[in-house]
Structure 1
Amino acid sequence: MDQKETKYDEIFARSFSRHDQKRFGYTALVVCFIVTCCLCTVFKPYLAPLPAYIGIKETKLLCNTTKPRSDTCMMKGDVRIQGNSSTIFVLSSHVENASWTIKPYARKGDEKAMQSVTNFSIKAIEEQAETMPKCTKMYNEPAIVFSVGGYGGNNFHAFTDVIIPLYATSREFNREVRFLVANKRSQWTTKFQKVLDKLSRYENIDIDNDNQVHCFPSMIVGLNKEDRQELHTDSMNDFIRFLRSSYSLERSTTIKLTNSSIKRPRLLIVSRQKTRAFMNLKDVVGAAQEMGFEVIVTEMNANMTQVSRLVNSCDVMMGVHGAGLTNMVFLPENGVVIQVVPCGKMEWLANTDFGEPSKAMGLKYLEYKISEEESTLIDQYPHNHQVFRDPGSIQRKGWGAFRSIYLDKQNVKLDVAKFKETLSKALELLH
């Protein structure tokens, strides 16, 4: 320090007390902060947005292709997805030039379903590689990539292959996650928009044929489906409560009947027009009304708000095996599900799709297996035909042959006197 600087320090010390010096220093610090904020405000339009993950040095990349129903890849770091090439790039210093392919739909053992699902390539690129595309859009929140292809247009598969696995995968983010949807159908996203909104606060990205390079701090490709069970997740009770919240459903439990009850329990009959239809529906309705039910008959539609509120207002729901029964997810707790099982040794399929899942949802389950005389197949095939005597031989020909006969060509005409026994059991379960 020279003599001039020493002289200035001495003058400064004599002119101000220690308290004044300290106050002056604080004032200078505040002024510097205000000036800095002003400069940032002025030059903000000229500054490029910085991704939240700019400081992440280590990339985490883990792919699991051993699960029976879904493949998944989880990555964290510099993750970039290019929609028009269905390629995901991960900048990595320890995994060089490795790659995976993932179809993000939770039914990987079904070749027919997976044919219409986009195949995403995941490439681990070494740092500073020229092949890493430049970001055109940056995000602070993580992303989940999934497909609504496959059988997603069917209500049963929409829930078991997409909605439930999406819930299981995204719930931990508490809506701070962005969905990248492959094979997007506007009807599908419109139908389930309330569920999607409850899981993510951000607008969905239609990733197919997208010419942007979207950059994220982390990403999950594929949806978690740990087992082969249908309509199932580890906590079905939580999922059911989530659905009731998504659609603002009022009833949590069914009517509790007593010997002095005045209110009638509501029975919802799921009607079908093309296949597996009730041929004597008026007789079934009349019998149910005589037994004390208020009966509603409807064919399920795509308006999930209307459907959910209707189902939630009922105590018992019945229908022939089919996707319409999936809406039992909206029944109040202790509600009763009656599944009418067509001919064709379909007990296993009926129990797998709706029997066991309904119990996990806190519902009561009843099954009514129709006889040959109650099936319209009796008008198409003689009694001694293999369709009745050996359904296994039809099954061995493949799902297409089985479906063609037992699902697509079969309607039911219930023996009303016999079916009343099942309705009586439903009433007992409501007491």
Structure 2
Amino acid sequence: MAKDFKNFNRAKTQNYGVGLVAVFILLSLTYITMSRTNTMRISVATSQLSSVPNMNRSITSGDHSNGPQKDSLEGGILKPEKKPICDFSNRKSDFCEAEGDVRIIGKDTRMVYVSSSHDQFGHDGGGDSWTLKPYARKVAAASGAGVREVTLKLVNGYHGEDSLRCTVNYTVPAVVFAIGGWTGNFFHDFADVLAPLFQNAYPFNGEVQFLVANMIPSFINKYQPILKKLSRYEIIEYDKDDAIRCFKRVILGLRLSTAEDFQMNPSNSPHGYSMLDLASFVKSVYSLERLRPSRITAGAGGGVEPVKKPRLMLITRARTRRFMNAKEIVQMAEELGFEVVVSEANPDVAKFARIVNSCDVLMGVHGSALTNMVFLPTNGVVIQVVPWGNLDWIAEHYFKEPARQMKVNYIEYSINEEETTLSEMYPRDHAVFKDPKSLHRQGWNTYARIFLREQNVRLDLRRFRPFLERALQILREIN
């Protein structure tokens, strides 16, 4: 009996010991897991990088599925899998994001270094690097041909080398991007730079430093109000000096929520931004106070009695895709009850934005000037006249879907063979009329020369009149 009792106590003591060990292990694992979230991190992008075509090298290792990152247990220590710091999965724009000790070298190398001995995501600083052009149009090789590449490289810590010694230290994050490419065209100014920059910089509430490659002073001057609203700091042309600028966080390139032009996908945006958010932001930048179209009511006999005449802006073009009968179009619009403003797009953005915002309807032939719909009051109307030549897809892609996302009503009018001046230049049995797509297949130069540069428009007023009446009906219904 005494022996059994003694064995029982011994067993009980052993069980207590095992329990204490188990509790210790549990607490240790909890501490490790919690401390992970408080250490320096270098991460961004969670995306299906394994499916990216034409990559010269693997840009990450470990699990890059859409699900949670997997951890592995090595030597009894919970070790996280590597996570990417760059994302090349968007067919329009590449970007990287790094946090920690980030050093941006000037004109000699134009490279971004991240000083790290071993971070919690598994990178050992052993020379991993990513090279990209920080311009949001990689899908078209010609557009980024002149944009300088930037390389983000991981190094094994900073050991006092002069080549990595900070010249300037910053307390705010940096966004590094290029202005080159196809900027200078109003549509591409917004689609390739301003809209992507809004998505990346607006969350910082002005507390972010812009570092720009391929600087174009005229672009900075033209859009200074927008740029100043996004960043309180003077823009740095970082690839023109020898400075080594040090940051705790850097976004290299511009992250997009979709690969479509001049569009946003709120469900794929870290902050849920939409094109309506962009339009509201831009209108606030230029102090545009008109948020709704004019109020219109139906009069006796089915006529229209506007409380204030609805304003229609007819955008004319000086050289190509011009309205050959603009005066007749204006006369018909006025007979229907519009007050008509005729104008060619003005390089003074602030001035032109105020004029557009004073209108209810924006009308023009397909071209970059229709980008001004961003200044229209919400629920206004844009009428796009699509030239001849199977241009419906590009017309819808560039303006129909962006208009919908900005809550601007969209009307599309495609001209016929009789309404294009190409009928005066080519016989009716030419491929221009019989098989326009065959000319598309000959490449951009042929396609653009014929359908975008040689063509002007003479609207059939009887055919077009119902489209103006539809614009009036939309304005009547929203009021």
* Paired letter, 1:316: V
Question: Secondary structure of the equivalent of 2:240?
Answer: coil
Deviation at 1:209, TM superposition (A): 1.8
1:185 to 216, 241, 244: 216
2:170 aligned residue: 139
Query: Is this contact kept in 2: 1:69–1:226, CA < 8 A?
Result: no
1:258 aligned residue: 297
Higher RCO (CA 8 Å, separation ≥ 6 residues): 1
Deviation at 1:109, TM superposition (A): 1.3
1:312 to 336, 357, 378: 357
Question: Secondary structure of the equivalent of 1:60?
Answer: coil
1:204 aligned residue: 235
Q: Is the aligned partner of 1:169 residue 2:200? A: yes
1:74 aligned residue: 97
Q: Is the aligned partner of 1:329 residue 2:370? A: no
Deviation at 1:339, TM superposition (A): 0.3
Deviation at 1:59, TM superposition (A): 5.0
Residues of 2 paired with 1:66 and 1:226: CA distance?
11
1:273 aligned residue: 318
Count of residue pairs brought into register by the alignment: 376
Question: Secondary structure of the equivalent of 1:124?
Answer: strand
1:338-377 alignment, distance < 5 Å: 338-377=383-422
Query: Is this contact kept in 2: 1:68–1:226, CA < 8 A?
Result: no
Question: Secondary structure of the equivalent of 1:78?
Answer: strand
Deviation at 1:228, TM superposition (A): 2.2
2:456 to 386, 396, 411: 411
User: Structure 1, unaligned stretches of length 5 or more?
Assistant: 1-55
Query: Is this contact kept in 2: 1:96–1:125, CA < 8 A?
Result: yes
1:103-252 alignment, distance < 5 Å: 103-129=133-159, 130=161, 132-233=163-264, 234=266, 235-252=274-291
**TM-score, length-normalised on structure 1?**
0.85
1:39-54 alignment, distance < 5 Å: none
Q: Is the aligned partner of 1:64 residue 2:87? A: yes
Question: Secondary structure of the equivalent of 1:298?
Answer: strand
Deviation at 1:58, TM superposition (A): 3.5
* Paired letter, 2:225: K
Q: Is the aligned partner of 1:87 residue 2:111? A: yes
Root-mean-square deviation over aligned CA pairs? 1.4
1:379 aligned residue: 424
**TM-score, length-normalised on structure 2?**
0.77
Question: Secondary structure of the equivalent of 1:302?
Answer: coil
2:52 aligned residue: none
Residues of 2 paired with 1:356 and 1:226: CA distance?
15
1:394 to 429, 433, 439: 439
Deviation at 1:411, TM superposition (A): 0.6
Residues of 2 paired with 1:196 and 1:331: CA distance?
21
Deviation at 1:131, TM superposition (A): 7.2
* Paired letter, 1:81: I
User: Structure 2, unaligned stretches of length 5 or more?
Assistant: 1-37, 44-84, 119-124, 267-273, 299-304
Q: Answer with 415-424 or 123-132: which moved more.
A: 123-132
Q: Percent identity?
A: 45
> CA deviation digits over 1:114-161, x for unaligned, max 9?
101110011111113537521111111000001111111111011111
Deviation at 1:252, TM superposition (A): 0.7
Question: Secondary structure of the equivalent of 1:251?
Answer: coil
Residues of 2 paired with 1:251 and 1:348: CA distance?
31
Query: Is this contact kept in 2: 1:59–1:78, CA < 8 A?
Result: no
1:4-43 alignment, distance < 5 Å: none
* Paired letter, 1:79: V
Question: Secondary structure of the equivalent of 1:407?
Answer: helix
